[in-house]
Amino acid sequence: MEIENIVDVENLMLRFYTYEGIVEALDGVNLHIKPNEILGVVGETGCGKSVTSLAILGIVMPPGRIENGKIIINVNGKQIDILKLHEEAIRKIRGKDISMVFQEPRAYLNPVYTVFDQISEVLIEHRKQEFINRALQTLKNQPKKSTITNFYISIYEKWSKNPNSLLIRFLSKIPILRRFQNPFKKELRKEVVQLLKSLGMADPERVADSYPHELSGGMAQRVVIAMALACNPTLLICDEPTTNLDVTVQAQILELIRALRAKFKSSILYITHDLGVIAELCERVAVMYAGNVVELAPVIELFKNPLHPYTRALLESIPRPGQPFKSIPGIVPSLINPPKGCRFNERCNYAMDICYKIKPKFIKVKEDHFVACHLYGE
Amino acid sequence: MPSIRGVNMSEKILHIKSLKKYYPVLGGVFRRKIAEVKAVDNVSLEIRRGECFGVVGESGCGKTTLAKTTIRILEPTEGHIYFNVDEEIISKIEKLEQNLMSERDKKTKSTIEAELRKLYHQYDVAKFKGSKLHRLRREMQIVYQDPTTSLNPRMLVKDIVGEPLLIHRVVEKKKIPEKVLQILKKVGLGEQHLYRYPHEFSGGQRQRIAIARALVLQPKFVVLDEPTSSVDVSVRAQLLELFQTLQKDMNLTYMFITHDLNVVECISNRVAVMYLGKIVELAETGKIFSEPLHPYTRALTESAPIPDPTRKKMRAPLKGEVPSPINPPAGCRFHPRCPLAIDICRSKEPILMDAGNNHFVACHLMTKSTK
């Protein structure tokens, strides 16, 4: 029996209903992510890389609408279809089992809260009970118990039975009395500092107390990664996390992601347009073009033996010293009126009659090598 | 005559001599100057006619400031720039400068000064003003990084590209449309694009419009400020191809600024590596990549991802980030991050020296080993 995939995306169709017309952003996307692997998604701007990841997280906003397909996620041995869940249930998964690192860390962090506030928000949302218990434990372990400590213990016992109890919520609004939260916050702080330390920050205490504008780009990106890893997710989606960073900082972040994967045992979906990063980091690659996954293969296989004409053209368009530049003729078609049949047909050197009529199926050519092209298969 | 990739090595189009550009940091109650950002600090280089001169470095190292100061979009704080000036005159100026330094007599000193001032006024781009500066703009142009922000969204393509002609009055008004069309065809656009607005184009096409606008005056020297960083891989190759053909057709000299080492390796003849406002290494492209001398260049080339999965690299990424240029580290500016730093690096600043074969490097380790 095969190992179960962490995520299975089947025939995902997504459209944006805009004033200019219906944008067919995703047209039958097929993907699967195996446990503890880094899957790279590569493609040009507007090919649907980011939208796919948003769909997996269940945050497609209007005018976007998912028309068809399945996104099955394996959470603790249970198979869940994200598209069938309602908002409340997805909220419990999002940030805990699946989390995301976005491209622009500065835009993603809230400028008026400290790093500690922002990371602890995730922890409070998903792991509140755990921290209440921890705080209760430390209170109980104190050798000398004052009256205040005994009062705290009684509150914490109530709190741990019902984390959302009305009484506690009421108490936390009253000045002086709301100090009962201090042991709880201390526990959170320990965890946050620990988390920041594991991301290779030299001075986690200082970083925890600083505001986003006090951090450099690389540091801010680390904070965002820390936030995403706060609940030890099974799947981490990275949407071009290094695009705006310098090469030396990019190398640091890539090294970090590689180390974290080993440490946290998460699968990673890494979205990028940089084939160099793909080659360095990923184990398998999905190549996307105009809303389709056109090829999915292990990274060495893909670079050595690219099957789809688009993949080939993409690899050839990497500038190499001493060789003339090769580019892909034509431009990416508009997705409002996409070409019929294969969407790459107008730019393809191997286009046949059938390519203009029928959309190629996503077929398995070899073990672990899938391609959507009429040149292959029957 | 020695030449690299068909570029004449001896004829120089641009001389930059100890160029400095400092930005004041204002603060306090009266907005006094409390510090300076040394964006470009004592940079000297020469660019040869017809070559593509690459400038690489991390963000904030002063690449763009160097380029903008060179073409006088920014006022240099100090230094001299000679553009398209005979070698003889430059050597004459240099001689006078040396005389001035060694001369003791006050009277002769003042006569030399007067003569120098006259020469600077005539030849030094850094001191140009008014109509002279205006005329200089015809010769030096720039293509910016992001065409979405560098093109006016309310102007038609024909007006965007035609505006330089209108301002500089190089052709009659009637002939402007003809010229515009001519240059648009050269960059791969056509008649059908004349009456459109920038937002109707894709990123690659927009960059072509920006290129057309820069080249319509037929300049000799063009600064390309990260022209390919905002476009996709497939379009990037198209643009690079275009740059090369245009260079041949119009006899252009490029200064190509980028942080993408892959691109610079393919397009430029010589490369300068910048770090915190200083050039740390300058050599032919092949040499920079095959035998980098400065530890920073080595780290930079190593941290660039290689699109080849079979080549797994053993590397330790460079620690830390670029320090603030307001308070650059004493001695060699790279020493806090340098894996090979020795004692002298912390106290004394290395100078850019020739390590043989026109390979310039500013590092104490190199000058030691060559001695």
Most A CBs within 10 Å, among B4, B58, B59, B233, to test the A interface: B233
Q: Are B217 and B138 in contact (CB under 8 A)?
A: yes
**Nearest Cβ partner for B266 among A250, A280, A319:** A319
Domain chopping of chain A, boundaries: 1-110+233-378, 115-205
Query: What mean pLDDT is reported for chain A?
Result: 88
Tell me, yes or no, whether B312 lies in a domain.
no
Kindly determine whether residue B321 and residue A249, on different chains, have CB atoms separated by under 8 Å: yes
In a domain, B314, yes or no: no
Q: How many CB pairs under 8 A join A and B?
A: 117
pLDDT digits (tens, 9 = 90+) for B99-154: 888 888 888 888 988 999 999 998 999 989 888 999 999 999 999 988 888 999 99
Tell me B73's DSSP state.
S
Do B231 and B362 have their domain in common? no
Is B69 within 8 Å of B39 (Cβ atoms)?
no
Chain A residue with CA closest to B324: the answer is A216
**Domain check: are B99 and B245 in the same one?**
yes
Q: Is A8 exposed, middle or buried (0-12, 13-18, 19+ CB in 10 A)?
A: middle
* CB atoms B321 and A216 under 8 Å: yes
The CATH class of the A1-110+233-378 domain is alpha beta
For B232, which residue in chain A has the nearest alpha carbon? Answer: A44
- Phi-psi category of B130—alpha, beta or left, where left has phi over 0 and alpha has psi -120 to 50? left
Given CB atoms, is A349 within the 8 Å cutoff of chain B?
no
The answer to whether residue B267 scores a pLDDT higher than 70 is: yes
Which sign, positive or negative, has the C-alpha torsion A23, A25, A29, A35? negative
Q: Write out the residue range of the structural domain in which residue B328 sits.
A: 272-306+320-370
Residue B141 and residue B14 share a domain = yes
**Is B131 a member of any domain?**
yes
CA distance linking residue B61 with residue A99, whole number of Å? 34
Residue type, position B27, single letter: G
Residues forming a β-bridge with A56? none
Separation of alpha carbons A260 and A228, rounded Å: 12
Do B341 and B236 belong to one domain? no
Confidence at residue A110, expressed as pLDDT on a 0 to 100 scale: 93
Token output for B248: 């041949």
How near does any CA of chain B get to the CA of A276, in Å?
A: 4
The listed range with the strongest mean pLDDT (A1-5, A263-267, B2-6) is A263-267
Please give the average per-residue pLDDT across B31-48, as a whole number: 89
- How far is residue A258 CA from its own chain's centroid? 15
Task: Please check the confidence at residue A300 and state whether its pLDDT lies above 50.
Answer: yes
Pairing of strands B278-284, B270-275: antiparallel
Residue B7: predicted pLDDT: 59
- Shared domain for B32 and B176, answered yes or no, is yes
Q: What CA–CA distance (Å, rounded) separates B68 from B62?
A: 10
User: Residue A158 in 3-state DSSP?
Assistant: helix
CA distance to partner chain B, nearest, from residue A376 (Å): 24
Helices (H), B216-324: 233-250, 261-267, 285-290, 295-303
Domain shared by B242 and B364, yes or no: no
Same domain, B120 and B89: yes
A255 contacts B307? CB cut-off 8 A: no
**Which residues of chain A lie closer than 8 angstroms to B58, CB-CB?**
246-249
> How many other CB atoms are there within 10 angstroms of residue B167's CB atom?
12
Residues B9, B133: one domain?
Answer: yes
The widest CA-to-CA distance across chain A, in whole angstroms, is 85
Residue of chain B whose Cα is closest to the Cα of A251: B303
Residue A179 DSSP symbol: G
Strand residue runs (E) in B92-199? 140-143
**Shortest alpha-carbon distance between residue A66 and chain B (Å):** 27
Is it the case that residue B368 has pLDDT exceeding 70? Answer: no
pLDDT for the residue numbered B371: 45
Asked whether residue B311 is assigned to any structural domain, the reply reads: no
Q: CB-based contact (8 Å) between A283 and chain B?
A: no
Interface of B with A (CB under 8 A): 58-59, 202-204, 232-238, 240-241, 244, 259, 261-263, 265-267, 285-286, 289, 299-300, 302-310, 313, 315, 317-319, 321-322
| Six token digits for residue B243 | 């740059």
Runs of H (alpha helix) within chain A: 49-57, 87-93, 105-108, 115-141, 147-161, 166-171, 182-198, 204-208, 217-229, 247-264, 275-281, 299-304, 309-316
Residue B299 lies inside a defined structural domain of this protein:
yes
Name the residue type at position A160: S
Residues in Cβ contact with A89 at an 8 Å cutoff, skipping those fewer than 6 apart: none
B204 vs A contacts (CB less than 8 Å): 331
8 Å CB contact between B191 and B108: no
Give residues 242 to 281 of A whose Cβ lies within 8 Å of B. 246-252, 254-255, 273-280
Give CA–CA dist A278/A300, Å, rounded. Answer: 10
Considering CB atoms only, which of B234, B285, B304 is closest to A328?
B234
Distance, CA of A78 to CA of A94 (rounded, Å): 15
Decide: B215 and B183 in contact? Cβ < 8 Å. Answer: yes
For residue B313, tell me if it sits in a domain: no
Over residues A66-105, the pLDDT tens digits come to 988 889 988 877 888 888 888 888 888 888 889 999 888 8
Tally of domains in chain B: 2
φ, ψ dihedrals at A349, nearest 5°: -80, -20
pTM of the complete model: 0.85
Say what percent of chain A tops pLDDT 90: 30
Q: Is A243 exposed, middle or buried (0-12, 13-18, 19+ CB in 10 A)?
A: middle
> Residue B238 sits in a domain of what CATH number?
3.40.50.300
- B219 plus B293 within the same structural domain: no
Chain A residues inside the 8 Å CB shell of B267: 319
Quote the minimal CA–CA distance from A157 to chain B in Å.
45
